[in-house]
Structure 1
Amino acid sequence: MANPARAWQGNKNSARDRFLAGGYFSAHHQPKFELSLADRFFTVGSCFAREIEYKLAPFGVPLLLRNQGIERRFFDSWKDGDDAPGADALYAGVFNKYTTASIEHDLRRTILRESYENEGLIELDTDKWFDPHASGLKLLPLEQALANRAKIAEAMQLVRQADVVVMTLGQTESWLDTATGIAMNAHPGPAALRKFGDRFFFVDHSYAETIAQVDRTIQLIRRECNPAMRFILTVSPVPFNATFRPQDVVVGHQSTKAMLRTVAEELFRSYDFVDYFPSYEMVINTPRELAWLDDQLHVAGKMVEHIMQRFYSLYYPQGAVLAAQ
């Protein structure tokens, strides 16, 4: 009876009434721990993790990957001659990790300082190198690709300074590089898949594999970086552009998110230092015209802002007052 959000219908804070209100949905949540503005955040996971960072910054939260990244001119999205203001600024999207396998592999690579020939870069064509552990970078000459890889590796080491890791789980469909063993963040494209034959291997990780990947990552960070590290798990509501499985993309999306949500729930129940924040539920229970951009793929900025105001009001002392200012 102490739970104000216990009822689907029949009281003033019922799920039914919140659904029918027509605005941004707010999920009831009781955090396991409080945070202070001195707590340093390391945010890892899908593109939704970057959105969390952008919206936390105005609250004065110390974000270790803030002002880290790679110059925009090295990204696929860059157009020659693009001279928009700030176009050559650092972009943190390079740190996006779309799968639980790539999150684990990149943090293990970072923390244990694993080494690979050519830093794991793959030459797809003459002096055109692909970074399987980055997000969105162009094929680049080896010298520049190695320089970018060094910047990424240096920034990822900041996890050692964190007090809190926010981990956003995005996907389970993964590609592996059998030559290096790297769990790739993205596949290198259809032409490369044809050219390299069986080198790149697709796998859709099971529940057992997925929870093991996230659990091992959590234990690695606490063992090697900070034995008092706290974790806040979220599930990205963002779907994949396309599925590699022979099924409707919507069905694939829902099954993937259900698995990731269950993984987060199990770890939340298992450890007092792991919390789950229900941003996923807030998005999917908000009317689509408010929650999503027109592409129906990316979450609208106002939606993320609403989520992070809710986050701040819950986790920080006096946060409810400050978030409203």
Structure 2
Amino acid sequence: MPSDNPDRSQPPKAFWRRAIAERHYSDLEELWGPIPLTRSDRIATAGSCFAQHIGNNLQRRGATFLDLEPAPPVFADEAEARRFGFGVYSCRYGNIYTSRQLLQLFDEAFGHRTPTERVWGRDGRFFDALRPSVDPVGQEDAATVLALRGQHLGRVREMFRHLDLFVFTMGLTEGWEAVADGTMYPAAPGTICGSFDAEKYRFHNLRYGEILQDMQAFWERLKGVNPQARMLLTVSPVPLTTTATGGHVLTATTYSKSVLRAVAGDLAADHAEIGYFVGFEQRLQAD
């Protein structure tokens, strides 16, 4: 009989007791293989709220962080500017929670699609339906909203064409989309602005295959306009605030994060220029 087995040749990091159970979470090591970066690499961020912290930390450490829509000099301080969506991500798109939003933003920026419904109203004011959180007060008319969106999309195009590393935090599988053309919104109609109509909007909980297909399509499109681009994926550890699945928010959160983590891992395994950062795992261990 063989006197050895494959487990005996594994390093300490392969064993839960030695790598996790006997260590404080701050002492964990060898969790991932860092991607090479230089201070001149132009880094852009997008995704769920977790990505905000990544961008802020990169800036503090001297990285070349792209901010294509800086705040105009009309705000009292940085906090007020951030309330209007400035200085949060590399462009003023607000939170991009799902893979479908990311893909559709890219296609819209490069003229491949135009959402049927781009403007929502509230109390006589008008808002960008694809980024309603970046303008708390809205605009006087829909034409202004569309003009501002056109300027924004120009900055998004510039970002994708010139970045060296795109950091995207995958946040949710759940979203609300337009029945007419499948446009997925960052918030359900009626929560920030607009109004809900069950005949116009439907709930969509993206499955593994859909998210993988979205991300692969985005990656191909990004490389098409920017061949040197690399991508670093993270998964937000922040639980769902609410779920529209009809199930318990705990099981909905577990499903969402598990699927996103699986997609991120497979993309990183299949593409040498896509990496995965373990912020999700470290947060779980800390909790």
TM bin, normalised by shorter chain, reads 0.7 to 0.9
The letter of the residue matching 2:43 is F
Bigger relative contact order, structure 1 or 2 (CA pairs below 8 A, ≥6 apart): 1
Structure 2 CA distance for partners of 1:3 and 1:148, relative to 1, 3 Å: farther
Aligned residue runs from structure 1 range 52-67, under 5 A: 52-65=54-67
Contact 2:120–2:128 (CA under 8 A) maintained in structure 1? no
Deviation at 1:2, TM superposition (A): 7.1
Deviation at 1:242, TM superposition (A): 0.6
Structure 2 CA distance for partners of 1:112 and 1:180, relative to 1, 3 Å: same
In structure 2, the partner of 1:29 is: 31
Give the alignment's Cα RMSD to 1 decimal.
2.7
Q: Separation in 1 of the partners of 2:119 and 2:72?
A: 19
Identity of aligned residues (%): 24
Contact 1:237–1:280 (CA under 8 A) maintained in structure 2? yes
Aligned residue runs from structure 1 range 150-161, under 5 A: 150-157=150-157, 158-161=159-162
Please give the per-residue CA displacement for 1:192-248, whole angstroms capped at 9, x wherever unaligned.
554x3411111101111111111111111001x212211111101112221011111
Deviation at 1:285, TM superposition (A): 0.6
Q: Separation in 2 of the partners of 1:162 and 1:264?
A: 20
2:118 is aligned, of 112, 116, 121, to: 121
Q: Secondary structure at the match of 2:37?
A: coil
Q: Separation in 2 of the partners of 1:144 and 1:263?
A: 38
Deviation at 1:86, TM superposition (A): 3.9
In structure 1, the partner of 2:171 is: 170
Q: Does 1:104 align with 2:103?
A: yes
Q: Separation in 2 of the partners of 1:183 and 1:202?
A: 9
In structure 2, the partner of 1:130 is: 127
Gaps of 5+ in 1: 74-83, 288-325
Contact 2:69–2:155 (CA under 8 A) maintained in structure 1? no
Please give the per-residue CA displacement for 1:55-113, whole angstroms capped at 9, x wherever unaligned.
1101111111366368998xxxxxxxxxx644543524443201111111112211346
Contact 1:42–1:63 (CA under 8 A) maintained in structure 2? yes
Contact 1:40–1:163 (CA under 8 A) maintained in structure 2? yes
In structure 2, the partner of 1:89 is: 81
Contact 2:233–2:277 (CA under 8 A) maintained in structure 1? yes
Deviation at 1:264, TM superposition (A): 0.7
The letter of the residue matching 1:284 is L
Deviation at 1:49, TM superposition (A): 1.1
In structure 1, the partner of 2:3 is: none
Number of corresponding residues: 267
In structure 1, the partner of 2:200 is: 199
Structure 2 CA distance for partners of 1:32 and 1:144, relative to 1, 3 Å: same
The letter of the residue matching 1:252 is A
In structure 2, the partner of 1:296 is: none
Q: Separation in 2 of the partners of 1:127 and 1:146?
A: 16
Structure 2 CA distance for partners of 1:183 and 1:271, relative to 1, 3 Å: same
Q: Separation in 2 of the partners of 1:245 and 1:69?
A: 38
Q: Separation in 2 of the partners of 1:261 and 1:135?
A: 27
Structure 2 CA distance for partners of 1:92 and 1:135, relative to 1, 3 Å: farther
In structure 2, the partner of 1:81 is: none
Structure 2 CA distance for partners of 1:170 and 1:87, relative to 1, 3 Å: closer
Q: Separation in 2 of the partners of 1:263 and 1:276?
A: 10
Tell me the TM-score normalised to structure 2 length: 0.82
Structure 2 CA distance for partners of 1:27 and 1:85, relative to 1, 3 Å: same
Structure 2 CA distance for partners of 1:68 and 1:151, relative to 1, 3 Å: farther
Gaps of 5+ in 2: 1-8
Structure 2 CA distance for partners of 1:284 and 1:115, relative to 1, 3 Å: same
Deviation at 1:52, TM superposition (A): 0.5
In structure 1, the partner of 2:232 is: 232
Deviation at 1:32, TM superposition (A): 6.5
Contact 2:128–2:146 (CA under 8 A) maintained in structure 1? no
Q: Secondary structure at the match of 1:5?
A: helix
Contact 1:233–1:264 (CA under 8 A) maintained in structure 2? yes
